[in-house]
Structure 1
Amino acid sequence: MSVARTRFALYLDLIRWNRPAGWLLLLWPTLSALWVAAGGFPGWRLVTIFTLGTILMRSAGCCVNDVADREFDRHVKRTAGRPVTIGAVSVREALALAAVLALAAFGLVLLTNALTVALSFAALAITVAYPFAKRVVSMPQAVLGVAFSFGIPMAFAAVLGQVPALAWWLLVGNLFWVLAYDTEYAMVDRDDDLKIGMKTSAITLGRFDVMAVLMFYLALIVVWGWALRQQGFGAVWGVALVLALAQVAWHAQMIWQRTREGCFRAFRLNHWIGLTLFAGVVLDVWMRGKL
Structure 2
Amino acid sequence: MSTSVASPRPAERWRNYLDLIRWNRPAGWLLLLWPTLSALWIAAEGFPGWHLLAVFTLGTILMRSAGCCINDVADREFDRHVKRTVQRPITAGRISVREALLVGLVLTLAAFALVLTTNALTIAMSFLAVAVTVFYPFTKRFFAMPQAVLGVAFSFGIPMAFAAVQNHVPAEAWLLVIGNLLWVIAYDTEYAMVDRDDDLRLGLKTSAITLGRWDVMAITLFYLVFIALWVWVLASYDLGWPWLLAVLVALLQVGWHWRLIRHRRRESCFRAFTQNHWLGFTLFAGIVVGFVLRTPASG
Q: Which residue of 2 aligns with 1:237?
A: 243
Which amino acid in the other structure matches residue 189 of structure 1? D
2:126 aligned residue (120, 125, 131)? 120
Q: Which residue of 2 aligns with 1:216?
A: 222
Which amino acid in the other structure matches residue 38 of structure 2? S
C-alpha distance in 2, partners of 1:144/1:234? 32
Per-residue Cα deviation, 1:67-108 (whole angstroms, up to 9, x for no partner): 000001111111111001111100000000000000000000
Q: Which residue of 1 aligns with 2:194?
A: 188
Q: Which runs of 5+ in 1 are unaligned?
A: none
Q: Which runs of 5+ in 2 are unaligned?
A: 1-7
C-alpha distance in 2, partners of 1:268/1:164? 32
2:74 aligned residue (62, 68, 78)? 68
Q: Which residue of 2 aligns with 1:77?
A: 83
Per-residue Cα deviation, 1:168-207 (whole angstroms, up to 9, x for no partner): 1100100010011000000000010000001000000000
Q: Which residue of 1 aligns with 2:117?
A: 111
2:237 counterpart SS class: coil
Q: C-alpha displacement at 1:161, in angstroms?
A: 0.6
1:279 aligned residue (273, 277, 285)? 285
1:230 counterpart SS class: helix
Q: C-alpha displacement at 1:290, in angstroms?
A: 6.1
Q: Which residue of 1 aligns with 2:3?
A: none
Q: How does 1:46-57 map to 2 (within 5 A)?
A: 46-57=52-63
1:172 aligned residue (171, 178, 192)? 178
Structure 2-normalised TM-score?
0.95
Structure 1-normalised TM-score?
0.98
Following superposition, which runs of at least 4 residues in structure 1 exceed 6 angstroms of deviation?
none
Q: Which residue of 1 aligns with 2:97?
A: 91
Per-residue Cα deviation, 1:201-235 (whole angstroms, up to 9, x for no partner): 00000001000110010011110011111333333
Calculate the aligned-residue CA RMSD, in Å: 1.0
C-alpha distance in 2, partners of 1:184/1:222? 20
Per-residue Cα deviation, 1:44-77 (whole angstroms, up to 9, x for no partner): 1110110000000000000000000000111111
Which amino acid in the other structure matches residue 160 of structure 2? M
Instruction: Give the % identical residues.
Output: 68
C-alpha distance in 1, partners of 2:234/2:139? 32
1:200 equivalent to 2:206? Answer yes
C-alpha distance in 2, partners of 1:79/1:27? 24
1:19 counterpart SS class: coil
C-alpha distance in 2, partners of 1:92/1:234? 52
1:226 equivalent to 2:232? Answer yes
2:257 aligned residue (234, 239, 251)? 251
Aligned residue pairs total 290
1:37 aligned residue (43, 49, 52)? 43
1:13 counterpart SS class: helix
Per-residue Cα deviation, 1:127-167 (whole angstroms, up to 9, x for no partner): 00000011111000000000000000000000111111111
1:132 aligned residue (107, 125, 138)? 138
Q: Which residue of 2 aligns with 1:22?
A: 28
